[in-house]
């Protein structure tokens, strides 16, 4: 799954996790959490969807935050889990139980470049945008603290758009170009707002 789908799933599940907990959501941090496992795309010595997508790695990464921030960290933990358990689980699988097992675990083997995946991500994008607009969360991307963290989601969108990362064969499908440009515009606007406030 591309960043567009991971953002949408991470947002929808992270937002749902806030309901019973009554915690405020920081949108830049939620978007970062939704794509963190894909840091392996920058690491040539690590298999994509391998160790960084493991439940054990995710728990090890988030345990200190869950201990320190308790229920406030739960939406970010949920967004992070959604990456491997939902987003990539259906599009090729992950090494979900690494280091105990190097087996790939997944429900379906939908290619990320397939029309099925592209339409799914596009649909998720529109659903997430509708919810974000309705609840005012789209504005929070620009207003919340820690906007500098949007550098990671910016790279996660720009990389495939330019064919950077694992190669041009992982470039963004045409139908996901507009949602990608939409997110890039929001991220750039957020950087400009952040920079102008500090001057």
Give the start-to-end residue ranges of the domains of the chain. 3-198
- CA proximity to 166, closest of 176, 156, 180, 174: 156
User: What pLDDT is recorded for position 42?
Assistant: 84
Mean residue pLDDT of the chain comes to: 92
Q: Is 86 in a helix, a strand, or coil?
A: helix
pLDDT, mean of residues 37-62:
91
pLDDT, mean of residues 40-52:
88
Band (pLDDT 50/70/90 cuts) for residue 178 is very high
β-partners of residue 155 are none
DSSP for residue 191: H
DSSP for residue 22: T
Band (pLDDT 50/70/90 cuts) for residue 171 is confident
Q: Is the pTM of this model over 0.75?
A: yes
Residue 146 has pLDDT above 70, yes or no: yes
């Amino acid at each position: 799954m591309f960043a567009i789908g991971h953002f949408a799933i991470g947002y929808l599940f992270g937002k749902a996790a806030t309901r019973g907990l009554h915690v405020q959501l920081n949108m830049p941090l939620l978007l970062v959490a939704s794509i963190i496992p894909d840091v392996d795309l920058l690491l040539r010595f690590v298999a994509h969807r391998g160790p960084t997508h493991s439940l054990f790695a995710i728990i090890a990464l988030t345990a200190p935050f869950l201990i320190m921030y308790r229920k406030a960290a739960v939406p970010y933990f949920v967004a992070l889990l959604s990456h491997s358990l939902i987003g990539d689980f259906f599009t090729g699988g992950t090494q979900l139980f690494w280091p105990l097992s190097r087996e790939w675990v997944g429900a379906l083997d939908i290619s990320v470049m397939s029309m099925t995946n592209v339409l799914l991500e596009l649909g998720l994008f529109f659903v997430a945008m509708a919810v974000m607009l309705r609840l005012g969360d789209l504005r929070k991307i620009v207003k919340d603290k820690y906007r500098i963290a949007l550098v990671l989601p910016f790279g996660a969108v720009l990389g495939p758009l330019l064919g950077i990362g694992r190669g041009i064969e992982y470039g963004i499908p045409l139908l996901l170009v507009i949602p990608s440009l939409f997110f890039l515009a929001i991220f750039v606007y957020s950087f400009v707002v952040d920079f102008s406030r500090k001057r």
